[in-house]
Amino acid sequence: MSHDSSNSPRSKRLQLISDYGCTRSSKCRKPCSRSAETVSTRREAEPVRADVQGTQHLSGPGRAGLTGGPAAGRAAARAGAMAKLLSCVLGPRLYKIYRERDSERAPSSVPGTPTSVTNPHSSSWASVFWSISYYSSPFAFFYLYRKGYLSLSKVVPFSHYAGTLLLLLAGVACLRGIGRWTNPQYRQFITILEATHRNHSAENKRQLANYNFDFRSWPVDFHWEEPSSRKESRGGPSRRGVALLRPEPLHRGTADTFLNRVKKLPCQITSYLVAHTLGRRMLYPGSVYLLQKALMPVLLQGQARLVEECHGRRAKLLACDGNEIDTMFVDRRGTAEPQGQKLVICCEGNAGFYEVGCVSTPLEAGYSVLGWNHPGFAGSTGVPFPQNEANAMDVVVQFAIHRLGFQPEDIILYAWSIGGFTATWAAMSYPDISAVILDASFDDLVPLALKVMPDSWRGLVTRTVRQHLNLNNAEQLCRYQGPVLLIRRTRDEIITTTVPEDIMSNRGNDLLLKFLQHRYPRVMAEEGLRVVRQWLEASSQLEEASIYSRWEVEEDWCLSVLRSYQAEHGPEFPWSVGEDMSADGRRQLALFLAQKHLNNFEATHCTPLPAQNFQMPWHL
């Protein structure tokens, strides 16, 4: 007798489990209420499971449509990861991450000092070696040529070594990029930087301001053509640069014929080479790359102090010559101090940077401050020739007026040393500027250049300075009509033409005399000029007071004379006051005016000016 195994209880139970997913006993004869629902659910879920498992049960167009989304997403993710890795390889060097400026947003884990992401001192050795190799390359090529190493038979093996070295450098760069890619702080920074380049929103700039990185990658915040008045006016600066005062010819009346031009050509070529090699670096040592690398840790600390303690805002300005100018703005308009409504634009010396320069003086005095670096200094690009300096100063003033919102009447120009050139240029070009303060500055560069060069080079030095490095501070200052204050260092060792003890060789004296002679030519005649020179020879406040009292200067009388003349003839200089005055009256006026326009500071050239010595110039 045959037995059908398909009708056995065990077979029926397996069939139920297979068809309906029911696990109840085969003895249960109740209809399963979940059976239809389970089958329907399983059939609807089959396409989803098939898509997750690779769509094994689908084929044709339906399968292609389902697999397109996830595959494209994975490809996009891989492409994004590779793009982020490439951005890390080619991205800028990140120096520090500043503390959050808003204490409410600052997490508890934020340290009290800026976070240092890289060690700029140790990581800059390759840049230092490259700089040394760059400047020594002419001598190296000359040596190799004399030794016969530049022949074809020896150059080919050398090219193999060079190619190997380049491959090694490329590998090092890739390893650096991978290290950055694994650093979450750098990935967050590069994401913010790319977003800021795409969209210059206020929020993106706020987030980017928390990082200190290679300034070449900083987005431009202000363009020299941005003010609408510049676009509509034809008299503004062009891409060739702003207007400068042209030096007078060395030989007047000489016919400028073709033959004379040919005769002058060798001298002009020599002057050009001297100015663009040795001269520029001697005049602006702060533009030397090696010096900047040595000062890098100090500059980073100065930036951190300005950003974190003073709430400074860094910005990149694009000048008309294409140079990018690094600036730092500290806004004090929201404080209770009334001087915070005034903006002091600081012009640094030939080795000064706003990070560690003269900006500290007006900051301590409570003013709003805008500092900037010369072209070729730190984050600024270019080279510090007079034309580039004036172009940079022009965009800085435009930035202060049109972006920061200060009126020219609320702007004060403060310059130290060689910064007097850009300050006097701005005062000449923007006559509505409130005041000018020149600290340890000079009248003209030629006497100071002749001081450090051999006497046999006198003609070459004079020609080179006049044609390429003409810093004519006194000439520009005389074009300004507003209040001026000069600060003379009594032990200045830089702008004296003999020794620091010889105070009469200080070129600040000549700046004062030329300034007073232009504004008050009748007062500064023979008698007035002689007595002012005697007053300038005084090396202490006691000697100054002695000379002042010897001539019995009556300040009230001097003020009444000047005010009556101003009321009758107007404020425009030069004045003819003193024309019908006695010699004694001219002496009194000359001493009074000299004492109002010059303050002595008993210090050397590089001593920081205390805040109590930062005073506004005198005016009627």
> Any idea which residues carry the catalytic annotation?
417, 492, 569
Distances (CA, A) of 190 to 85, 177, 217, 379, 550: 10, 12, 11, 19, 70
For the chain, first and last CA: distance in Å? 136
Distances (CA, A) of 10 to 26, 27, 35, 253, 438: 8, 10, 19, 127, 107
**In degrees rounded to 5, what are phi and psi of residue 397?**
-65, -40
Structure tokens at 617: 């110039």
E strand or H helix that includes residue 155: helix 152-181
* Integer Cα distance of 567 and 559 in angstroms: 12
Nearest-CA neighbor of 515 among 570, 606, 442? 442
Three-state DSSP class for residue 466: helix
Q: Evaluate whether 328 touches 354 at the Cβ level (below 8 Å).
A: yes
> Which CB contacts under 8 angstroms, 24+ apart, belong to 55-60?
none
Cα–chain center distance at 282:
21
Structure tokens at 145: 């040529």
Residue labelled with tokens 């020299």: 224
The DSSP bridge partners found for residue 330 are 369
Residue type, position 33, single letter: S
* Integer Cα distance of 496 and 506 in angstroms: 4
Instruction: Encode 407-444 in three state secondary structure.
Output: CHHHEEEEEEHHHHHHHHHHHHHCCCCCEEEEECCCCC
Q: How many CB atoms lie within 10 A of CB 51?
A: 17
Residue 522 DSSP one-character state: T
E strand or H helix that includes residue 41: helix 35-52
Cα–chain center distance at 58:
63
